[in-house]
Amino acid sequence: MSPEPKPFVVRTLPGAFGPSKKKIAAFLAIFALLLGAALSLPFPEFRGPLIAAAVLITIVAIGRVQIKDWREALQCGQCSAPLQSRLETSGKHGEPILYPCKQCNILWFAGSEYVD
């Protein structure tokens, strides 16, 4: 007689719902420091380009961290195995998006279907 398979446990994927409040606060602090440095310069002709650079640096930093979070979000949060394909659903509005990790028997919740 074969052993009975373990039931799957459902958990939420880390990073699946965007950056955390701590990351947002860190980006705002970096932007505020860069903006403050630009505004405190005694040469007004450099303020405009430095403010634009502060905005650009902050946007690039947010983008890099968010892309990293999205890549890591498709790994099992327990064993770090890549999550290959999501479970098939009927695609109805509000249905959960689930990725199974067969090594850990965990179903990772990554959000809900949105249909216009």
Parallel, antiparallel or unpaired: strands 9-12 and 106-112: parallel
- What's the pLDDT band for 100 if we cut at 50, 70, 90? confident
What is the rounded average pLDDT of the residues 59-87?
Answer: 78
- Give the whole-angstrom CA distance, residue 17 versus residue 30: 22
DSSP letter, residue 42: S
**pTM score > 0.85 for this model?**
no
- Is the Cα dihedral 81, 85, 90, 91 positive or negative? positive
Q: What is the Cα gyration radius of the chain?
A: 21
In this prediction, residue 14 carries a pLDDT of 65
- Per-domain boundaries in the chain: 17-73, 78-116
**Arithmetic mean of pLDDT over the chain:** 78
- What's the pLDDT band for 59 if we cut at 50, 70, 90? confident
